[in-house]
Amino acid sequence: MTINDLLKITQKYCDPREQVLIKKAYFCAEKIHQGEKRGTGEAYIMHPLMTAKWLAENELDADTISAALLHDVVENNPSESQEIKKIFGAHIAELVDGVTKLGKIKIKKSWFLLFKIFQNQQEKQLGFERHVESLRKMLMAMSKDIRVIFIKFADRLHNMQTLNGVYPQKRERIARETIEIYAPLAYRLGMGELKGTLEDLAFPYAYPKEYEWVKKIAGPKYQEKGKHLEKAMRIIKLKLAENKIKAQIHGRKKHLYSLYKKLIKYDRNLSKIYDLVAIRIIVDSVEACYKVLGIVHSMWKPLLGRIKDYIAMPRPNGYQSLHTTVFGPDGEILEIQIRTWKMHNMAENGIAAHWHYSQDKKSTKIPKDKFEWVQELGRWQGKLIDRNEWSKGLRLDFFEKRIFVFTPQGDIRDLPASATPIDFAYSVHTEIGNKAKLAKVNGKLVRLNHKLSNGDIVDVIIDKNSKGPKRDWLRFVKTSKARGKIKSFFV
Ligand code: MN
């Protein structure tokens, strides 16, 4: 990888003036990093270059690419910040500063060591505070300019790909931070492909024993399932051609870490996991999606309760597709996912795809009528965001309408602002909601209608003999899930 390789990628969408800017940023970074080496032994400049490459492949603008090339310059030498502003202007300097500040937020490795030795409540609490702080700062940075997060993702991705060059204790901390902070954030922003990649890169370093276990049990099963998959794909191809439906069909393997999490949920029993492999069918229109679903179900019987229409009802992060699980050829259970090309691009790239679609390449200001995707983000909050707020530029304050709270085990739940412990309880499990008796927030007892805040650690205490939820909970719950579950109890 050289600067010329990078320029070849950006050439496709940048004008000559922007190409010059990128080149200038590169030579500036190269000069400053001269003589520095990465843990892997490579010249340091390879790291900013690879960071910029990922962004260029996602067609981010010249300012972002230039800031990515300069992203580690300030960290190594704070006086460079003013220099960057002088040479490259305030736009790029702000992006670089944003990335530098985010880089300073690290969960100290000492915490992980402490956590392992003393698994008592106090130590956990300490860790969570730092964790929450990282998350909060990240969201704040994001609210200023989403491109800072894109650079940070690209930076983290390359660091994960070169994690072997780092000493083991630091490796484990970075891997866990990737799983606990970066991957959930990528998922929240709809960047499914990046989330899966980050988790799979981190998995062997974060949980080596678990990784070996999953690899060992899943390996042979993937092979066996793969054969059935090929057969089913051939049949679908023929059938769709008969019906004159243009489609691309491919198989997809479940990401290893995502399989691990699912296995934990299903008693570590691999035979309970139906989507180890899946067939993905990509078509041109929504209409074609439903047509394909009809064709599939006319050939193979679907499993009860496994048909999911995420087109009519998208997931909270905007994900759309039709999912069904069928008894395929030879009665083998098989998951099939059907989507349009646009949905596919969104599922893989999420907010990056939105950003790309909405970008006006000629101007630095983004016209507000291009913010179709803001509406889509708004939809998962249940409300439309005031569009005027967005005319200022790339503001992303939809996070202000959501809060992030933690289970005592440290899992993150995101809920609408002013959600209560009852909303939280139902978000964890219906039974916990139904039998909720008391709630503790950050260790203190609170009322069940208490308004939760960002970063709260919520512990719901249940009454095993409870006969069910209270009707008056309906007066204060905020999520439709809690509302629905309570109502259905009284039907
Ligand atoms: Mn870096």
Q: Give, for all 491 residues of the chain, the pLDDT tens digit.
A: 999 999 999 999 999 999 999 999 999 999 999 999 999 999 999 999 999 999 998 888 899 999 999 999 987 666 788 889 999 998 899 889 878 766 654 333 323 333 333 333 334 444 545 555 555 555 555 546 778 888 999 999 999 999 998 998 889 989 988 887 788 778 767 788 899 999 999 999 999 999 999 999 998 988 888 889 999 999 999 999 999 999 999 998 899 999 999 999 899 999 888 888 899 999 999 999 999 999 999 999 999 889 999 999 888 667 899 999 999 998 889 999 999 998 998 888 776 666 555 544 333 333 333 333 333 333 333 322 333 333 232 233 334 466 777 777 666 677 888 899 999 999 999 999 999 999 999 788 999 999 998 667 899 999 999 999 999 999 999 988 899 999 999 87
- Residue (of 341, 343, 328) closest to 239 by Cα position: 328
Distance in Å, CA 339 to ligand 1 centroid: 35
**Tokens 């002013």 belong to residue:** 418
Q: Is the overall model pTM greater than 0.75, yes or no?
A: no
CA–CA separation, 356 and 371 (whole Å):
11
Other beta carbons within 10 Å of 365: 10
Between the CA of 350 and the centroid of ligand 1 the distance, in Å, is 23
Could you give the strand order of the β-sheet that contains 277-283, starting from the edge strand earlier in sequence?
Answer: 247-253, 277-283, 333-340, 322-327, 308-309
Distance 139 CA to ligand 1 centre (A): 19
CA of 78 to the centre of ligand 1 (A): 15
Tell me how far apart the alpha carbons of residues 141 and 2 are, in angstroms, rounded to a whole number: 30
235 token code pair = 């049949």
Find the 218 Cα to ligand 1 centroid distance in Å. 34
* Cα 48 to ligand 1 centroid, rounded to whole Å: 6
Distance from the CA of 47 to the center of ligand 1, in angstroms?
7
CA 261 to ligand 1 centroid distance, Å: 29
Per the CB < 8 A criterion, the answer to whether 483 and 423 are in contact is no
C-alpha of residue 270 to centroid of ligand 1, in Å: 38
Q: Who contacts 209 (Cβ-Cβ below 8 Å, separation ≥6)?
A: none
Within 34-120, residue ranges assigned H as helices are 46-57, 62-69, 73-76, 80-88, 90-103, 109-117
Q: Distance from the CA of 107 to the center of ligand 1, in angstroms?
A: 16
What whole-number distance in Å separates Cα of residue 89 and Cα of residue 174?
A: 32
Listed in sequence order, the residues at least 6 apart from 78 whose beta carbon sits closer than 8 Å to its beta carbon are: none
326 C-alpha vs ligand 1 centroid, how far in Å? Answer: 45
User: What 3-state class would DSSP assign to 25?
Assistant: helix
Looking up tokens 């060059």 gives 165
Structure token digits, residue 348: 């893989």
Query: Ligand 1 centroid to 69 CA: how many Å?
Result: 9
User: Ligand 1 centroid vs 155 CA: distance in angstroms?
Assistant: 5
Cα of 268 to ligand 1 centre, how many Å? 37
- Token pair recorded at residue 181: 């902070």
Closest of 35, 37, 14, 38 to residue 24, by C-alpha: 14
CB under 8 A, 24+ apart: contacts of 219-223: 221/270, 221/276, 222/253, 222/276, 222/277
Residue of 381, 344, 334 lying closest to 226 (CA atoms): 334
Q: How many CB atoms lie within 10 A of CB 189?
A: 25
